[in-house]
Amino acid sequence: MKGKVYTRTGDAGTTSLVSGNRVSKDDVRVEAYGTVDELNSNIGVLLHSTKLDEHDVIALLRKAQNKLFNIGAYLANDAADATLYGLKQEDITELEQMMDKMSEELPPMRGFILPGGSRLSATADRCRTVTRRAERRVVSLTKVAHVEPLVLEYLNRLSDFFFVFARYNNIRNQVEEIYWDKDA
């Protein structure tokens, strides 16, 4: 890639969408795709956690990163005919199947589990909360623009995946799950 990264066009607090339209950097659309980008970065941290040796999970997370790039590009396009590439119902099914597989090894939940345990699980918990925020930002966008329903469905299932994966990692590594104590 040749050329400079900086353009100075955003110095006054605006940015360009895919269509070329300029909007404020705190526009609801920018908040939505920006939070999806933040989630993608957090998944990058999760992927480089030292104890992550589950090859099927690594492949699923890399795939999720690509899906999130597709979602981000879609959300950054304010054209009425914007196309969502590379996201299918099968991607949601794949997340569900992975959660079902991991859940087979998990004990029943006895209450609300505090985030954390191991570093890997804490990082998965952070991914879960950023996914939930991305989901909220996309919901806000749906109030002013059309968003393919599959985007929200995927984000919702992805956050569920991070929750299950955090539990799975703790149980597999014999790290005690800490339950919320309302009287603490």
For the stretch 62-79, pLDDT in tens is: 999 999 999 999 999 999
> What's at 84, amino acid-wise?
L
- E strands present in 20-176: 22-24
**pLDDT tens digits along 79-116:** 989 999 999 999 999 999 999 999 999 999 899 999 99
Which domains are present in the chain? 23-75+85-105+116-172 (1.20.1200.10)
- Each residue's pLDDT tens digit, 125-166: 999 999 999 999 999 999 999 999 999 999 999 999 999 999
pLDDT at position 51 over 70? no
Token pair in block for residue 16: 């360009």
